[in-house]
Amino acid sequence: MKVGIGQDSHRFDFENKLKKLVLGGVVFEKEPPMQANSDGDVILHAITNAISGITCKNILGEITDKMCKSGITDSREYLKKALEDLIIIGEKIQHISISIEVKTPKMAPKIPEMRKSIAEILSIKENQVGITATTGEGLTAFGKGEGIAVIVILTTGN
């Protein structure tokens, strides 16, 4: 068994009225998007980083910057790139635990949809995807409503 830890965070872009907020591959209507050169899906970015922790090949950064410059801004594509490396080393995802720190929007109503989306992207069952959310009692910029932070712990086996 191997364990990967991934983290990502982005500020909200309160000025951008064209872009949508996307979390875990799910669109949150009427919410400010993330400041990012991609769709800014912090959940999928944190998952990608967790996989990189297992494969020892960083995807976010140089690889995704090139993808962005060629017009690929969908974070699902970045995650798929990380999954290719996981397959190469013969590992399979056993479970993923996702912790989200955010003041608003409220996550609870969308958690079932996000679990389903993430399970589909990762080719695992929904009961292998755990998602929790907290405001962190407003102690950080994320709990104060300035953005979203995500921490992921991912376990694999073969």
**pLDDT at 3 exceeding the cut of 90:** yes
Backbone φ and ψ for 70, nearest 5 degrees, come out as -90, 5
Give the per-residue pLDDT at 74: 95
| DSSP label of 127 | G
Give the per-residue pLDDT at 26: 97
Binned at pLDDT 50, 70 and 90, residue 158 comes out as: confident
pLDDT of 42-80, one tens digit each? 999 999 999 999 999 999 999 999 999 999 999 999 999
pLDDT of 89-126, one tens digit each? 999 999 999 999 999 999 999 999 999 999 999 999 99
CA atoms within 13 A on the CB side of 57: 15
Residue type, 94: Q
Mean pLDDT, the chain, integer: 96
Mean pLDDT over 118-147 rounds to: 96
Backbone φ and ψ for 72, nearest 5 degrees, come out as -90, 105
What tokens does 156 get?
Answer: 């694999």
- Residue 135 CB neighbours (<10 A): 18
Going by C-beta distance under 8 Å and a sequence separation of 6 or more, which residues neighbour residue 86?
51, 54, 55, 92, 93, 156
